[in-house]
Amino acid sequence: MRLDTGHARRLFSEAPVARLATADAAGVPHVVPVTFAVDGDVIVFAVDHKPKTSTALRRLRNIEANPTVSLLVDHYEDDWTRLWWARADGHARARAEDPPAVALLTAKYPAYAERPPEGPVVRIDVSRWSGWSAAPW
C-alpha cells in the first residue's frame, strides 16, 4: 500500500540509517549509508569521525555538481506482511558548519553526543516523501 506523506516522513524519521543516492555531473550514481536527522521537511547528515577512505568524499563532490538526491530507509522481516520502505527526494547543499543540524544529530545518536561530527554538514530540502508498506497504516 502506498504511504501518505505523513506516514512516510514518520517512518523515515524513526529509522537509524538511510541510504543516500547521489549522482555526479555525468549522472553516474553513488549510494552510501548515512546517519541523519529530520526536522520537518529538512534532512541533515554530517561527515563524522568514522574512518573514511578519503576526506574528499564522493558524496560531497556529487552534491556540489548535482544537488538532486534521494534517501531511502526500509524495514525487512521474513514475515513479508511487515515490509515497508520510505524515500525522501530533494535538493542538498553542504556547509562547513551548521550548529543546529549538529544538535539534531547529537540528540538522535548517543555516539554523537560523546563526539559531535566536525566535518561538513549537508542539509536536504525534501520536495517529496513517498513510501510503501505491505500492511495498511
C-alpha cell at 126: 525534501
Nearest CA to 104 out of 39, 18, 40, 50 is that of 39
Residue range 5-133 forms a domain whose CATH class is mainly beta
User: Is the model's pLDDT at 55 over the cut of 70?
Assistant: no
Domain boundaries, the chain: 5-133
Tell me the pLDDT tens digit for each residue of 118-135.
Answer: 889 999 999 999 999 999
Give the percent of the chain with pLDDT over 90.
Answer: 90
Cell of 132: 510503501
Tens of pLDDT, residue by residue over 59-87, are: 999 999 999 999 999 999 999 999 999 99
